[in-house]
Copies of this chain bind each other. A is one copy, B any other.
């Protein structure tokens, strides 16, 4: 995510005319295209050497896995089912480029098999620069259709699908896209809005709030903190909660639903590890910590590789 990407997306959305073929255009986790039968989802993510991974440290296979997984996470964020992927590779030119391409593909294949995605095409280039991998994934909607970012309402409950923070210690390379959780939840109860946590909980929840035109109040003690957030906090001198709120690339889901739906979910827990972290309000983004309320900055951390 480049600095200023949101301003650019805003500019871009202002230019793009309405189109009867497009159910949902730029600005959500996936675009949704109207098709006979179920609608079609499409999403794309580009990963670059030095920003999203350090090739020399992690190797091509991990890069392939991550490139695939982050796209599947976007499909999960719509409660979709992934079907097919195309891959664009820009390889550093040189004698190792073929072996690197194979390693990357093996990583892509590993994740594709796990989530039943067909790798159907691609484009391979070489240049005098670093490795770039671009993956586009198509999918289908499930149940009552795609879950957008825009459907949250004041009073809705807010959940996340797992503990957050500190993914940079290693989890960011091998996330588990929450495809299954999302479909199961979406079948079980109507979700009003959803996003995957790629930029950080506060930032991604804020995308939901902006698209939905509402606010949120989070409860600090309810936010599930990953052990990595504690470990990282010991190193950075920031609190583990701060890491859980603002670190990126957890690739868990944050979603909202009606209080009735939330109660049903809390009672029956169709997916292990659901955490109610707060409620939607009319406006603002606040955090209640030890009974005191403070404004929560919707900042995420840039994907710096440490």
CA distance A1 to B123 in the complex (A): 7
CB contact between A90 and one of B48, B87, B102, B119 (< 8 Å): that residue: B48
CA distance A26 to B89 in the complex (A): 14
Within 8 A of B (CB), among A80-116: 83-84, 86-91, 93, 97-98, 101-102, 105, 109
Q: Is the CB of A12 closer than 8 A to any CB of chain B?
A: yes
Q: Verify B124–A1 contact, CB threshold 8 A.
A: yes
CA distance A215 to B228 in the complex (A): 60
Shortest Cβ distance from A37 into B: residue = B36
When A125-B51, A136-B86 are in contact, do A91 and B33 touch as well, CB less than 8 Å?
A: no
| Interface range for A | 35 or more
CA distance A52 to B129 in the complex (A): 14
Q: Verify B126–A89 contact, CB threshold 8 A.
A: no
CA distance A51 to B123 in the complex (A): 14
Copies of this chain in its oligomeric complex: 2
Which segment, of A14-22, A175-183, A232-240, A280-288, faces chain B? Answer: A14-22
Q: Is the CB of A25 closer than 8 A to any CB of chain B?
A: yes
Q: Which residues of B contact A105 (CB under 8 A)?
A: 12, 15
Q: Which residues of B contact A3 (CB under 8 A)?
A: 126
**Nearest CB on B from A123, distance (A):** 5
Q: Which residues of B contact A132 (CB under 8 A)?
A: 46, 48, 90, 132, 134
Q: Is the CB of A50 closer than 8 A to any CB of chain B?
A: yes
CA distance A50 to B126 in the complex (A): 11
Q: Is the CB of A57 closer than 8 A to any CB of chain B?
A: no
Q: Is the CB of A130 closer than 8 A to any CB of chain B?
A: yes
**Nearest CB on B from A109, distance (A):** 7
CA distance A115 to B26 in the complex (A): 19
**Nearest CB on B from A34, distance (A):** 10
CA distance A130 to B22 in the complex (A): 32
* 6 shortest interchain CB distances as A-B pairs: A31-B120, A134-B134, A46-B88, A2-B126, A36-B37, A136-B136
